[in-house]
Amino acid sequence: MGRLFSDWFEVLHWRGASGRMISLSDRHRARLAQLETVPEEAKVLTLLGTAHRRAGRFDRAAALFERAQAIGERSGDREAITDAALGLMAQHCTAPGPGFPDDLRDTTHRIVQLWDGTPPAGDRLRLDVLDCWGSLLRGDVDRALEKGRALQAQGKAKVLPAAQTHGALYMAIGEALGGNWQSGRSLAEQGAQSAVSEPDRLMALCVAALCSAMTGDAEGGLRRLRHLRQDIHGLGLEGLAPPVEAAIGFAQTVQGDLADGVLRIENAIARARKAGAVQVAALGHVALGTIYRTIGPSGGPQGLASVARNAGFLIRRAPFARSQSLSHFDRAAELGRDAELQGVIALALHGRAMTLLSRRRPQAARAALEAALTATRTIRWSGLARRIEKDLTALD
């Protein structure tokens, strides 16, 4: 019976059918409680933890991973301990909190020690993927790009689709964060093509669609994002819903629908905050800060068609747009500090500086730029650092 459940859940895991897995576990709770062997019980709990993480139920996911790890600890089962620990590391990346970089580093060290310095190849690969993911979250974009290239090359050389997919996906996100939308789109499409896991494929397609919207195909990108949202809801992957909703909102604003786009991003931020996906909420605030700066009195010309389409929104919000912009950048920086997301802090401070410049406050802008540059010195993100230095030089 235990083997049946573990095999069944593993198939659902790769299909990304988190909602179905959770439903089945609820329906067969009594039978699952009777699993007799440690490997089966720990594996089922870890798979269920991943399903709950993907569904955005982060507290429940963490509890399941911890139970699986405790079972492995009691029995001395290294595979069970490692699998659950890797699940917890993914949890830290999905919902980062204070100290998450230390948690990732300490858990990696423990897993390596557990295997006397040489973890199994599959676990070593997962550690490398999580290291790349964690680097990206912290704002070590250059390091994430390097790790991503190495993962993709390893995947191609050894025919490891997971390495190819994650390498391409994290490089795509890194490029998109730097505004390199064309490169981001190409990499994300590569990641989607090599994906074996359905959640990985959907995430890569989401990044590709957003990059497409930002490179002149707002309508096409928006259409693809809406289709992806349906797929995500159908599979019960609600943990992916906030970033996809935020991407839809951003694409809508690019297309010219400010009112609905801003509302959608606001809702995505609220959902992300409630779930604990701090990085999604913080980047949502960065997006709103940027949007409000562009619609403020000094944000640049608005076309007649855009003004007509967004008349009500502009009447209500344009007079206060620059204040709203500063407020959103401040919230992003605050969230970044809470979760040690140094890249988000630097992005938010740079955005704040640009808004202050639009308000003709060069001294305050300089202070924000200097603080942003200081934030970049704790990470490796050369593209953002150069942009900040260029803006500082322009103030001299």
Please provide residue 388's backbone torsions phi and psi, each rounded to the nearest 5 degrees. Answer: -65, -45
What's the confidence (pLDDT) of residue 294? 87
Lowest mean pLDDT among 207-216, 258-267, 292-301: 292-301
Establish if 94 belongs to a structural domain.
yes
Among 100, 20, 94, 99, smallest CA distance to 58 is for 94
Question: Is the pLDDT reported for residue 107 higher than 60?
Answer: yes
Of the residues 116, 150, 180, the one at which a domain ends: 116
Residue 58, domain CATH: 1.25.40.10
Question: Is the pLDDT reported for residue 150 higher than 50?
Answer: yes
Of the residues 100, 116, 132, the one at which a domain ends: 116
Of the residues 72, 101, 116, the one at which a domain ends: 116
Establish if 377 belongs to a structural domain.
yes
Among 87, 83, 95, smallest CA distance to 63 is for 87
- pLDDT band of 301, cuts 50, 70, 90: very low
- pLDDT band of 298, cuts 50, 70, 90: very low
Establish if 344 belongs to a structural domain.
yes
Establish if 343 belongs to a structural domain.
yes
Q: Cα–Cα distances in Å, from 388 out to 112, 258, 264, 378?
A: 38, 28, 29, 15
Establish if 87 belongs to a structural domain.
yes
Percent of the chain with pLDDT over 90: 78
Q: How many domains is the chain built from?
A: 2
The string of pLDDT tens digits covering residues 34-77 is: 665 557 788 889 999 999 999 999 999 999 999 999 999 998 99
145-149: average pLDDT:
97
* Distance from C-alpha of 390 to C-alpha of 211, rounded to nearest angstrom: 25
Among 209, 151, 139, smallest CA distance to 178 is for 139
Domain that holds residue 281: 272-300+310-396
* Distance from C-alpha of 330 to C-alpha of 345, rounded to nearest angstrom: 9
Establish if 262 belongs to a structural domain.
no
Give the residue, 312 or 336, on which the prediction is more confident. Answer: 336
Establish if 339 belongs to a structural domain.
yes
Establish if 258 belongs to a structural domain.
no
The string of pLDDT tens digits covering residues 329-342 is: 999 999 999 999 99
The string of pLDDT tens digits covering residues 211-263 is: 999 998 989 999 999 999 999 999 999 999 999 999 999 999 988 889 999 99
Whether 110 and 147 have beta carbons less than 8 Å apart is answered as no
Question: What is the value of pTM for the model shown?
Answer: 0.92
What's the confidence (pLDDT) of residue 53? 95
